[in-house]
Amino acid sequence: MSTPSFIRLSELSQKVVRAVEEAFSGKNYWVVADVTSHTYKAQSNFHYFELVDKDQQSNHVLSKFAARAWGTGSQRISVFEQATGQRFGNDIHVLVQVTVEFHPTYGLQLCVTDIDTSFTLGMLEQQRRKALQRLLQENPEHVRFEGDRYLTFNRDLKLRAVIQKLAVLSSGTSAGFQDFVHTLQHNVAGYKFSIDHYRVLVHGEHNSRQFVDRMIEVYKSGVQYDAVVIIRGGGAQTDFLLFDDYSLARAVARFPIPVITGIGHQRNQTITDLMAHTSTKTPTQAAEWIIGHNRLFMEALLVLEKRVVIKSQQLLSGHSRSLSSLNATIASAAGNYLGNQKDNLFYLNSKITGRSRTLLHQHALALQTLGLLLISAPRLVLRSRANELGMVGAELRRTSASFLKNRNSELEHTATLVRLMSPGNILKRGFAIVKQNGKITSVASDITAGDQFEVVLGGVEISAIVESTKGYDGSDFNI
Protein backbone atom coordinates (compact mmCIF):
# COMPACT_ATOMS: atom_id res chain seq x y z
CA MET A 1 0.00 0.00 0.00
CA SER A 2 1.50 3.29 -1.11
CA THR A 3 1.69 6.28 1.23
CA PRO A 4 -0.78 9.09 0.22
CA SER A 5 0.56 12.53 -0.42
CA PHE A 6 0.35 14.87 2.63
CA ILE A 7 1.25 18.28 3.96
CA ARG A 8 2.20 19.42 7.42
CA LEU A 9 -0.44 20.86 9.76
CA SER A 10 1.40 24.17 9.85
CA GLU A 11 1.16 24.34 6.07
CA LEU A 12 -2.58 23.74 6.29
CA SER A 13 -2.92 26.42 8.95
CA GLN A 14 -1.10 28.84 6.73
CA LYS A 15 -3.59 28.12 3.95
CA VAL A 16 -6.44 28.79 6.40
CA VAL A 17 -4.76 32.01 7.51
CA ARG A 18 -4.51 33.16 3.92
CA ALA A 19 -8.09 32.16 3.22
CA VAL A 20 -9.38 34.02 6.27
CA GLU A 21 -7.31 37.06 5.44
CA GLU A 22 -8.59 37.04 1.86
CA ALA A 23 -12.19 36.68 3.08
CA PHE A 24 -12.16 38.96 6.16
CA SER A 25 -9.11 41.19 5.85
CA GLY A 26 -9.99 44.83 6.47
CA LYS A 27 -13.56 43.95 7.42
CA ASN A 28 -15.35 44.32 10.76
CA TYR A 29 -18.81 43.31 11.91
CA TRP A 30 -21.27 44.45 14.57
CA VAL A 31 -22.68 41.38 16.31
CA VAL A 32 -25.12 40.84 19.18
CA ALA A 33 -24.15 38.11 21.65
CA ASP A 34 -23.93 37.07 25.29
CA VAL A 35 -20.61 37.09 27.12
CA THR A 36 -19.50 33.88 28.88
CA SER A 37 -16.29 32.36 30.29
CA HIS A 38 -14.79 35.80 30.84
CA THR A 39 -11.34 36.31 32.37
CA TYR A 40 -9.34 39.50 32.63
CA LYS A 41 -5.56 39.88 32.83
CA ALA A 42 -4.95 43.20 34.53
CA GLN A 43 -1.19 43.24 33.88
CA SER A 44 -1.61 42.98 30.13
CA ASN A 45 -5.10 44.58 30.03
CA PHE A 46 -6.38 41.58 28.04
CA HIS A 47 -9.94 40.24 28.11
CA TYR A 48 -10.54 36.58 27.18
CA PHE A 49 -14.11 35.33 26.79
CA GLU A 50 -16.62 33.64 24.54
CA LEU A 51 -19.41 35.20 22.50
CA VAL A 52 -22.53 33.04 22.41
CA ASP A 53 -25.74 33.32 20.41
CA LYS A 54 -28.72 31.50 21.95
CA ASP A 55 -32.21 30.71 20.76
CA GLN A 56 -34.64 33.12 22.44
CA GLN A 57 -37.23 30.40 23.14
CA SER A 58 -35.22 27.29 24.04
CA ASN A 59 -32.02 29.01 25.23
CA HIS A 60 -30.15 26.54 22.99
CA VAL A 61 -26.68 27.64 21.83
CA LEU A 62 -26.78 28.41 18.11
CA SER A 63 -23.18 29.46 17.76
CA LYS A 64 -20.11 30.17 19.89
CA PHE A 65 -16.79 31.88 19.17
CA ALA A 66 -13.72 32.42 21.24
CA ALA A 67 -13.06 36.14 21.54
CA ARG A 68 -10.56 38.55 23.02
CA ALA A 69 -10.09 42.26 23.48
CA TRP A 70 -6.82 44.10 23.85
CA GLY A 71 -5.40 47.49 22.89
CA THR A 72 -8.21 49.58 21.43
CA GLY A 73 -10.79 46.93 22.34
CA SER A 74 -9.77 46.99 26.02
CA GLN A 75 -9.88 50.79 26.03
CA ARG A 76 -13.41 50.75 24.59
CA ILE A 77 -14.50 48.23 27.25
CA SER A 78 -13.16 50.58 29.96
CA VAL A 79 -15.20 53.41 28.44
CA PHE A 80 -18.24 51.09 28.41
CA GLU A 81 -17.83 50.26 32.09
CA GLN A 82 -17.51 53.91 33.07
CA ALA A 83 -20.54 54.94 31.02
CA THR A 84 -22.86 52.16 32.16
CA GLY A 85 -21.54 51.60 35.66
CA GLN A 86 -21.50 47.93 34.69
CA ARG A 87 -18.52 45.58 34.63
CA PHE A 88 -17.83 43.77 31.42
CA GLY A 89 -18.30 40.12 32.32
CA ASN A 90 -20.40 37.01 32.16
CA ASP A 91 -24.13 37.00 31.42
CA ILE A 92 -24.36 40.44 29.84
CA HIS A 93 -25.97 41.01 26.47
CA VAL A 94 -23.78 43.23 24.27
CA LEU A 95 -23.44 44.71 20.81
CA VAL A 96 -19.74 44.55 19.88
CA GLN A 97 -17.68 45.28 16.80
CA VAL A 98 -15.40 42.38 15.89
CA THR A 99 -12.86 41.30 13.31
CA VAL A 100 -12.34 37.69 12.30
CA GLU A 101 -8.84 36.26 12.82
CA PHE A 102 -7.22 32.90 12.61
CA HIS A 103 -4.06 32.08 14.55
CA PRO A 104 -2.12 28.89 13.81
CA THR A 105 -1.82 28.17 17.55
CA TYR A 106 -5.05 29.58 19.02
CA GLY A 107 -7.36 28.89 16.13
CA LEU A 108 -10.29 30.99 14.90
CA GLN A 109 -11.04 34.00 17.11
CA LEU A 110 -13.07 37.18 17.13
CA CYS A 111 -11.19 40.30 18.17
CA VAL A 112 -13.38 42.96 19.80
CA THR A 113 -12.51 46.47 18.64
CA ASP A 114 -15.51 48.40 19.96
CA ILE A 115 -18.64 48.01 22.11
CA ASP A 116 -21.94 49.90 21.85
CA THR A 117 -22.76 51.41 25.26
CA SER A 118 -26.26 52.58 24.37
CA PHE A 119 -27.31 49.08 23.25
CA THR A 120 -26.60 47.51 26.62
CA LEU A 121 -28.20 50.39 28.51
CA GLY A 122 -31.22 50.11 26.25
CA MET A 123 -31.51 46.38 26.88
CA LEU A 124 -31.33 46.88 30.63
CA GLU A 125 -33.89 49.67 30.48
CA GLN A 126 -36.17 47.57 28.29
CA GLN A 127 -36.03 44.71 30.80
CA ARG A 128 -36.68 47.17 33.61
CA ARG A 129 -39.75 48.62 31.87
CA LYS A 130 -41.15 45.16 31.22
CA ALA A 131 -40.76 44.25 34.89
CA LEU A 132 -42.49 47.47 36.01
CA GLN A 133 -45.34 46.96 33.54
CA ARG A 134 -45.79 43.38 34.76
CA LEU A 135 -45.90 44.54 38.37
CA LEU A 136 -48.71 46.97 37.54
CA GLN A 137 -50.70 44.46 35.48
CA GLU A 138 -50.40 41.44 37.77
CA ASN A 139 -50.58 43.19 41.13
CA PRO A 140 -53.19 45.96 40.87
CA GLU A 141 -54.08 45.72 44.58
CA HIS A 142 -50.48 46.17 45.70
CA VAL A 143 -48.81 48.30 42.99
CA ARG A 144 -50.18 51.40 41.25
CA PHE A 145 -48.71 54.34 39.40
CA GLU A 146 -49.94 57.83 40.26
CA GLY A 147 -48.46 61.07 39.00
CA ASP A 148 -44.78 60.36 38.55
CA ARG A 149 -44.22 57.68 41.18
CA TYR A 150 -45.15 54.14 42.10
CA LEU A 151 -47.36 53.59 45.14
CA THR A 152 -47.30 50.17 46.79
CA PHE A 153 -48.85 48.34 49.68
CA ASN A 154 -45.51 48.50 51.47
CA ARG A 155 -45.14 52.24 50.89
CA ASP A 156 -48.64 52.78 52.35
CA LEU A 157 -47.68 51.08 55.62
CA LYS A 158 -47.35 53.43 58.57
CA LEU A 159 -43.96 53.42 60.24
CA ARG A 160 -43.89 53.26 64.01
CA ALA A 161 -43.02 56.51 65.73
CA VAL A 162 -39.73 54.98 66.92
CA ILE A 163 -37.76 52.42 64.89
CA GLN A 164 -35.62 50.12 67.04
CA LYS A 165 -36.08 46.45 66.08
CA LEU A 166 -34.56 45.86 62.61
CA ALA A 167 -34.16 42.89 60.27
CA VAL A 168 -31.24 43.54 57.88
CA LEU A 169 -30.79 41.59 54.63
CA SER A 170 -27.25 41.80 53.29
CA SER A 171 -24.27 39.60 52.48
CA GLY A 172 -22.23 38.16 55.32
CA THR A 173 -19.07 40.06 54.32
CA SER A 174 -20.68 43.31 53.24
CA ALA A 175 -18.75 46.45 54.16
CA GLY A 176 -22.05 48.27 53.68
CA PHE A 177 -23.55 46.26 56.56
CA GLN A 178 -20.64 47.23 58.80
CA ASP A 179 -21.10 50.90 57.85
CA PHE A 180 -24.82 50.62 58.57
CA VAL A 181 -24.32 49.06 62.01
CA HIS A 182 -21.52 51.49 62.93
CA THR A 183 -23.65 54.50 62.01
CA LEU A 184 -26.58 53.26 64.10
CA GLN A 185 -24.51 52.29 67.14
CA HIS A 186 -22.55 55.53 67.25
CA ASN A 187 -25.39 58.01 66.73
CA VAL A 188 -24.87 61.19 68.74
CA ALA A 189 -28.36 61.03 70.25
CA GLY A 190 -27.59 57.71 71.92
CA TYR A 191 -30.58 55.85 70.43
CA LYS A 192 -30.52 52.09 71.01
CA PHE A 193 -31.18 49.58 68.21
CA SER A 194 -31.68 45.81 68.01
CA ILE A 195 -30.40 44.36 64.73
CA ASP A 196 -30.96 40.83 63.38
CA HIS A 197 -28.72 40.04 60.41
CA TYR A 198 -30.21 37.79 57.70
CA ARG A 199 -27.33 36.89 55.40
CA VAL A 200 -28.11 36.60 51.68
CA LEU A 201 -26.32 37.03 48.34
CA VAL A 202 -26.93 40.55 47.07
CA HIS A 203 -25.65 40.26 43.51
CA GLY A 204 -26.58 38.15 40.53
CA GLU A 205 -30.10 38.30 39.20
CA HIS A 206 -30.40 34.50 39.51
CA ASN A 207 -30.30 34.80 43.32
CA SER A 208 -33.68 36.53 43.53
CA ARG A 209 -35.41 33.32 44.70
CA GLN A 210 -33.00 32.99 47.60
CA PHE A 211 -33.56 36.63 48.51
CA VAL A 212 -37.34 36.18 48.51
CA ASP A 213 -36.97 33.07 50.70
CA ARG A 214 -35.01 35.10 53.25
CA MET A 215 -37.76 37.72 53.31
CA ILE A 216 -40.30 34.96 53.97
CA GLU A 217 -38.05 33.74 56.79
CA VAL A 218 -38.13 37.24 58.30
CA TYR A 219 -41.93 37.29 58.11
CA LYS A 220 -42.31 33.81 59.64
CA SER A 221 -39.84 34.52 62.46
CA GLY A 222 -42.67 35.94 64.56
CA VAL A 223 -40.46 38.85 65.64
CA GLN A 224 -42.26 42.21 65.68
CA TYR A 225 -39.77 44.09 63.52
CA ASP A 226 -40.24 47.83 63.09
CA ALA A 227 -38.67 47.70 59.63
CA VAL A 228 -36.76 45.48 57.20
CA VAL A 229 -33.57 46.99 55.73
CA ILE A 230 -32.05 45.79 52.44
CA ILE A 231 -28.46 46.99 52.00
CA ARG A 232 -25.34 46.30 49.96
CA GLY A 233 -22.19 48.19 49.08
CA GLY A 234 -21.43 49.80 45.74
CA GLY A 235 -20.66 47.95 42.52
CA ALA A 236 -21.17 47.83 38.82
CA GLN A 237 -24.57 48.20 37.22
CA THR A 238 -24.86 44.46 36.64
CA ASP A 239 -24.48 43.92 40.36
CA PHE A 240 -27.84 45.66 40.79
CA LEU A 241 -29.73 43.52 38.25
CA LEU A 242 -30.92 41.40 41.18
CA PHE A 243 -32.86 44.39 42.51
CA ASP A 244 -34.61 44.88 39.15
CA ASP A 245 -35.92 41.30 39.28
CA TYR A 246 -39.70 41.00 39.11
CA SER A 247 -40.14 38.41 41.87
CA LEU A 248 -38.00 40.34 44.38
CA ALA A 249 -39.71 43.65 43.55
CA ARG A 250 -43.13 41.99 43.91
CA ALA A 251 -42.19 40.54 47.31
CA VAL A 252 -41.06 43.97 48.52
CA ALA A 253 -44.22 45.69 47.25
CA ARG A 254 -46.46 43.17 49.09
CA PHE A 255 -44.35 42.81 52.23
CA PRO A 256 -46.34 43.58 55.46
CA ILE A 257 -43.37 45.21 57.23
CA PRO A 258 -42.00 48.57 56.01
CA VAL A 259 -38.91 48.02 53.82
CA ILE A 260 -36.02 50.51 53.76
CA THR A 261 -33.36 50.17 51.04
CA GLY A 262 -29.77 51.33 50.94
CA ILE A 263 -28.41 49.46 47.96
CA GLY A 264 -25.32 51.58 47.36
CA HIS A 265 -25.97 53.17 43.97
CA GLN A 266 -25.72 56.81 43.03
CA ARG A 267 -27.60 56.74 39.73
CA ASN A 268 -31.10 55.53 38.84
CA GLN A 269 -33.24 53.76 41.42
CA THR A 270 -33.73 50.02 41.13
CA ILE A 271 -37.24 48.57 40.89
CA THR A 272 -36.85 47.30 44.46
CA ASP A 273 -36.24 50.91 45.54
CA LEU A 274 -39.43 51.99 43.77
CA MET A 275 -41.47 49.26 45.49
CA ALA A 276 -40.03 49.83 48.98
CA HIS A 277 -41.47 52.05 51.69
CA THR A 278 -38.34 54.24 51.75
CA SER A 279 -35.25 54.18 49.52
CA THR A 280 -31.85 55.69 50.19
CA LYS A 281 -28.64 55.68 48.18
CA THR A 282 -26.26 53.89 50.55
CA PRO A 283 -26.30 51.78 53.74
CA THR A 284 -24.95 54.74 55.69
CA GLN A 285 -27.75 56.97 54.40
CA ALA A 286 -30.28 54.28 55.36
CA ALA A 287 -28.94 54.30 58.92
CA GLU A 288 -28.95 58.11 59.00
CA TRP A 289 -32.53 58.15 57.73
CA ILE A 290 -33.65 55.81 60.56
CA ILE A 291 -31.83 57.98 63.11
CA GLY A 292 -33.47 61.06 61.60
CA HIS A 293 -36.89 59.39 61.80
CA ASN A 294 -36.40 58.72 65.52
CA ARG A 295 -35.07 62.25 65.99
CA LEU A 296 -38.30 63.64 64.53
CA PHE A 297 -40.24 61.77 67.20
CA MET A 298 -37.96 63.07 69.94
CA GLU A 299 -38.20 66.63 68.58
CA ALA A 300 -41.99 66.27 68.42
CA LEU A 301 -41.95 65.21 72.07
CA LEU A 302 -39.78 68.21 72.97
CA VAL A 303 -42.12 70.54 71.08
CA LEU A 304 -45.08 68.93 72.83
CA GLU A 305 -43.30 69.31 76.16
CA LYS A 306 -42.76 73.02 75.49
CA ARG A 307 -46.39 73.41 74.48
CA VAL A 308 -47.53 71.63 77.63
CA VAL A 309 -45.30 73.85 79.77
CA ILE A 310 -46.48 77.03 78.04
CA LYS A 311 -50.12 75.94 78.16
CA SER A 312 -49.75 74.98 81.83
CA GLN A 313 -48.23 78.37 82.63
CA GLN A 314 -51.03 80.11 80.72
CA LEU A 315 -53.67 78.06 82.53
CA LEU A 316 -52.04 78.68 85.90
CA SER A 317 -51.81 82.40 85.18
CA GLY A 318 -55.42 82.53 84.02
CA HIS A 319 -56.66 80.52 86.99
CA SER A 320 -54.56 82.67 89.35
CA ARG A 321 -56.27 85.79 88.01
CA SER A 322 -59.64 84.05 88.23
CA LEU A 323 -58.93 83.02 91.82
CA SER A 324 -57.89 86.58 92.73
CA SER A 325 -61.06 87.97 91.18
CA LEU A 326 -63.13 85.26 92.84
CA ASN A 327 -61.44 85.96 96.18
CA ALA A 328 -62.32 89.68 95.92
CA THR A 329 -65.88 88.81 94.91
CA ILE A 330 -66.25 86.36 97.79
CA ALA A 331 -64.80 88.86 100.29
CA SER A 332 -67.20 91.57 99.11
CA ALA A 333 -70.17 89.23 99.04
CA ALA A 334 -69.27 87.85 102.48
CA GLY A 335 -69.04 91.40 103.91
CA ASN A 336 -72.44 92.28 102.46
CA TYR A 337 -73.93 89.01 103.65
CA LEU A 338 -72.54 89.42 107.17
CA GLY A 339 -73.87 93.01 107.28
CA ASN A 340 -77.31 91.85 106.23
CA GLN A 341 -77.24 88.99 108.73
CA LYS A 342 -76.14 91.38 111.47
CA ASP A 343 -79.14 93.63 110.73
CA ASN A 344 -81.43 90.59 110.69
CA LEU A 345 -80.04 89.37 113.99
CA PHE A 346 -80.53 92.81 115.57
CA TYR A 347 -84.14 92.84 114.34
CA LEU A 348 -84.75 89.28 115.56
CA ASN A 349 -83.15 90.10 118.92
CA SER A 350 -85.52 93.06 119.39
CA LYS A 351 -88.49 90.98 118.30
CA ILE A 352 -87.55 88.05 120.54
CA THR A 353 -86.98 90.34 123.52
CA GLY A 354 -90.42 91.94 123.14
CA ARG A 355 -92.13 88.61 122.54
CA SER A 356 -90.37 87.02 125.51
CA ARG A 357 -91.51 89.76 127.85
CA THR A 358 -95.12 89.33 126.66
CA LEU A 359 -94.94 85.54 127.11
CA LEU A 360 -93.37 85.83 130.54
CA HIS A 361 -96.08 88.24 131.67
CA GLN A 362 -98.81 85.92 130.38
CA HIS A 363 -97.26 82.89 132.10
CA ALA A 364 -96.82 84.86 135.33
CA LEU A 365 -100.58 85.60 135.34
CA ALA A 366 -101.34 81.95 134.55
CA LEU A 367 -99.09 80.81 137.40
CA GLN A 368 -100.77 83.16 139.82
CA THR A 369 -104.22 81.80 138.85
CA LEU A 370 -102.91 78.24 139.12
CA GLY A 371 -101.41 79.02 142.53
CA LEU A 372 -104.79 80.16 143.83
CA LEU A 373 -106.38 77.00 142.45
CA LEU A 374 -103.70 74.84 144.08
CA ILE A 375 -104.33 76.46 147.44
CA SER A 376 -108.14 75.87 147.46
CA ALA A 377 -108.49 72.72 145.40
CA PRO A 378 -106.50 70.30 147.69
CA ARG A 379 -108.85 70.95 150.60
CA LEU A 380 -111.92 70.15 148.55
CA VAL A 381 -110.25 67.09 147.07
CA LEU A 382 -109.10 65.79 150.45
CA ARG A 383 -112.60 66.24 151.91
CA SER A 384 -114.16 64.41 148.99
CA ARG A 385 -111.58 61.61 149.22
CA ALA A 386 -112.14 61.29 153.00
CA ASN A 387 -115.88 60.73 152.48
CA GLU A 388 -115.15 58.20 149.77
CA LEU A 389 -112.70 56.36 152.04
CA GLY A 390 -115.31 56.25 154.86
CA MET A 391 -117.83 54.68 152.55
CA VAL A 392 -115.27 52.21 151.22
CA GLY A 393 -114.23 51.26 154.78
CA ALA A 394 -117.84 50.57 155.80
CA GLU A 395 -118.38 48.50 152.69
CA LEU A 396 -115.17 46.54 153.38
CA ARG A 397 -116.22 45.78 156.95
CA ARG A 398 -119.62 44.56 155.79
CA THR A 399 -118.42 42.47 152.90
CA SER A 400 -115.42 41.00 154.76
CA ALA A 401 -117.66 39.65 157.58
CA SER A 402 -119.95 37.96 155.08
CA PHE A 403 -116.96 36.65 153.10
CA LEU A 404 -115.32 35.12 156.20
CA LYS A 405 -118.58 33.49 157.30
CA ASN A 406 -119.01 31.84 153.91
CA ARG A 407 -115.43 30.64 153.89
CA ASN A 408 -115.79 29.10 157.37
CA SER A 409 -118.84 27.13 156.23
CA GLU A 410 -116.91 25.79 153.24
CA LEU A 411 -113.97 24.80 155.46
CA GLU A 412 -116.21 22.89 157.90
CA HIS A 413 -117.85 20.99 155.01
CA THR A 414 -114.46 20.13 153.55
CA ALA A 415 -113.15 18.92 156.93
CA THR A 416 -116.19 16.64 157.30
CA LEU A 417 -115.48 15.13 153.84
CA VAL A 418 -111.82 14.64 154.70
CA ARG A 419 -112.72 12.80 157.91
CA LEU A 420 -115.14 10.58 156.07
CA MET A 421 -112.58 9.72 153.39
CA SER A 422 -109.76 8.94 155.84
CA PRO A 423 -108.24 5.39 155.59
CA GLY A 424 -109.38 4.48 159.12
CA ASN A 425 -113.05 5.22 158.38
CA ILE A 426 -112.80 3.38 155.07
CA LEU A 427 -111.36 0.27 156.79
CA LYS A 428 -114.16 0.41 159.40
CA ARG A 429 -116.62 0.17 156.55
CA GLY A 430 -115.29 -3.29 155.56
CA PHE A 431 -112.59 -2.37 153.07
CA ALA A 432 -109.09 -3.92 153.35
CA ILE A 433 -105.54 -3.02 152.32
CA VAL A 434 -103.43 -5.67 150.55
CA LYS A 435 -99.64 -5.51 151.04
CA GLN A 436 -96.97 -7.65 149.42
CA ASN A 437 -93.41 -7.57 150.63
CA GLY A 438 -94.32 -4.65 152.93
CA LYS A 439 -95.73 -2.52 150.13
CA ILE A 440 -99.38 -1.72 149.32
CA THR A 441 -100.44 -3.27 146.03
CA SER A 442 -103.60 -2.74 143.98
CA VAL A 443 -102.64 -4.76 140.87
CA ALA A 444 -104.13 -8.26 141.07
CA SER A 445 -101.87 -9.59 138.32
CA ASP A 446 -98.84 -9.01 140.58
CA ILE A 447 -100.12 -11.74 143.00
CA THR A 448 -99.87 -15.39 141.90
CA ALA A 449 -100.46 -18.75 143.57
CA GLY A 450 -97.94 -19.47 146.33
CA ASP A 451 -97.16 -15.76 147.07
CA GLN A 452 -97.26 -14.54 150.68
CA PHE A 453 -99.14 -11.31 151.36
CA GLU A 454 -100.65 -9.27 154.22
CA VAL A 455 -104.20 -7.99 154.56
CA VAL A 456 -104.98 -4.96 156.81
CA LEU A 457 -108.60 -5.13 157.96
CA GLY A 458 -109.89 -2.72 160.60
CA GLY A 459 -107.25 -2.73 163.35
CA VAL A 460 -105.82 -6.17 162.37
CA GLU A 461 -103.06 -7.19 159.92
CA ILE A 462 -103.49 -10.74 158.61
CA SER A 463 -100.66 -12.75 156.89
CA ALA A 464 -101.74 -15.32 154.24
CA ILE A 465 -100.49 -17.45 151.36
CA VAL A 466 -102.28 -17.47 147.97
CA GLU A 467 -103.65 -20.86 147.07
CA SER A 468 -105.24 -19.75 143.78
CA THR A 469 -106.54 -16.75 141.81
CA LYS A 470 -109.60 -16.27 139.61
CA GLY A 471 -111.38 -13.47 137.82
CA TYR A 472 -114.09 -11.39 139.54
CA ASP A 473 -116.57 -8.92 137.97
CA GLY A 474 -117.97 -7.44 141.25
CA SER A 475 -121.53 -8.51 140.49
CA ASP A 476 -122.33 -9.57 144.10
CA PHE A 477 -120.75 -6.51 145.72
CA ASN A 478 -123.28 -4.26 147.42
CA ILE A 479 -122.62 -0.98 149.13
pLDDT in tens, 336-365: 888 888 888 888 888 888 888 888 888 888
**Please, which residues have CB within 8 angstroms of residue 7's CB and are 6 or more apart in sequence?**
none
- What residues make up the domain containing 242? 126-296
In a domain, 392, yes or no: no
In a domain, 368, yes or no: no
Same domain, 146 and 241: yes
Q: Output the average pLDDT for the chain.
A: 84
Last residue of a domain, one of 115, 150, 180: 115
Confidence at residue 437, expressed as pLDDT on a 0 to 100 scale: 78
In a domain, 402, yes or no: no
CA atoms within 13 A on the CB side of 269: 15
Amino acid (1-letter code) at residue 430: G
The better pLDDT of the pair 1, 156 is held by: 156
Count of beta carbons in the 10 Å neighbourhood of residue 248: 25
Q: What is the mean pLDDT of residues 25-39?
A: 89
Report the CATH number that the domain containing residue 98 is assigned in CATH.
2.40.50.140
Same domain, 61 and 131: no
Last residue of a domain, one of 237, 265, 296: 296
Same domain, 94 and 182: no
Same domain, 156 and 25: no
Same domain, 139 and 279: yes
The Cα 139–Cα 252 span in angstroms is: 12
- Closest C-alpha among 235, 257, 92 to residue 169: 257
In a domain, 328, yes or no: no
| pLDDT surpassing 90 at residue 194 | yes
| DSSP at 57 | T
CB 307 within 8 A of CB 284: no
Confidence at residue 193, expressed as pLDDT on a 0 to 100 scale: 94
Which ranges in 268-282 belong to alpha helices (H)?
Answer: 271-275
Q: What is the mean pLDDT of residues 65-93?
A: 85
CB 272 within 8 A of CB 248: yes
Report the CATH number that the domain containing residue 257 is assigned in CATH.
3.40.50.2300
Confidence at residue 478, expressed as pLDDT on a 0 to 100 scale: 54
Same domain, 36 and 103: yes
**Tens digit of each residue's pLDDT (9 = 90 or more) over 416-429:** 887 777 777 777 77
Amino acid (1-letter code) at residue 31: V
| pLDDT surpassing 70 at residue 476 | no
In a domain, 343, yes or no: no
| pLDDT surpassing 90 at residue 164 | yes
Confidence at residue 210, expressed as pLDDT on a 0 to 100 scale: 87
3-state SS, residue 465: strand
Confidence at residue 141, expressed as pLDDT on a 0 to 100 scale: 92
CB 104 within 8 A of CB 9: no
How does residue 471 score in pLDDT terms, banded at 50, 70 and 90?
confident
In a domain, 389, yes or no: no
- Closest C-alpha among 27, 40, 41, 17 to residue 106: 17
In a domain, 41, yes or no: yes
**Tens digit of each residue's pLDDT (9 = 90 or more) over 85-135:** 677 888 788 889 999 988 888 888 999 999 988 777 777 777 778 888 888
H helix and E strand count, the chain? 10, 16
How does residue 23 score in pLDDT terms, banded at 50, 70 and 90?
confident
**Tens digit of each residue's pLDDT (9 = 90 or more) over 365-409:** 888 888 777 777 777 777 778 888 888 888 888 887 788 888 888
**Please, which residues have CB within 8 angstroms of residue 111's CB and are 6 or more apart in sequence?**
67, 68, 69, 70, 73, 98, 99, 101
3-state SS, residue 347: helix
Of all residues in the chain, the percent with pLDDT exceeding 90 is 26
Confidence at residue 268, expressed as pLDDT on a 0 to 100 scale: 60
As a whole number of Å, the CA-based R_g of the chain is 68
**Tens digit of each residue's pLDDT (9 = 90 or more) over 7-20:** 888 888 888 888 88
**Please, which residues have CB within 8 angstroms of residue 205's CB and are 6 or more apart in sequence?**
241, 242, 244, 245
Same domain, 98 and 63: yes
**Tens digit of each residue's pLDDT (9 = 90 or more) over 256-282:** 999 999 887 655 678 889 889 999 988
Same domain, 267 and 184: yes
Last residue of a domain, one of 115, 139, 169: 115
Confidence at residue 184, expressed as pLDDT on a 0 to 100 scale: 92
Same domain, 158 and 280: yes
Q: What is the mean pLDDT of residues 54-62?
A: 80
Same domain, 171 and 290: yes
In a domain, 199, yes or no: yes
Q: What is the mean pLDDT of residues 169-179?
A: 83
Q: What are phi and psi of 56, to 5 degrees?
A: -65, -30
CB 244 within 8 A of CB 272: yes
The Cα 151–Cα 253 span in angstroms is: 9
How does residue 236 score in pLDDT terms, banded at 50, 70 and 90?
very low
Q: What is the mean pLDDT of residues 300-316?
A: 88
Q: What is the mean pLDDT of residues 204-214?
A: 78
Same domain, 181 and 54: no
Confidence at residue 119, expressed as pLDDT on a 0 to 100 scale: 79
Same domain, 162 and 234: yes
Confidence at residue 270, expressed as pLDDT on a 0 to 100 scale: 86
Q: How many domains does the chain have?
A: 3
Burial status of residue 63 (CB atoms within 10 A of its CB: 0-12, 13-18, 19 or more)? exposed
Q: How many residues does the chain have?
A: 479
Q: What is the mean pLDDT of residues 459-470?
A: 81
The Cα 222–Cα 196 span in angstroms is: 13
Which residues is 279 bridged to in the sheet?
261
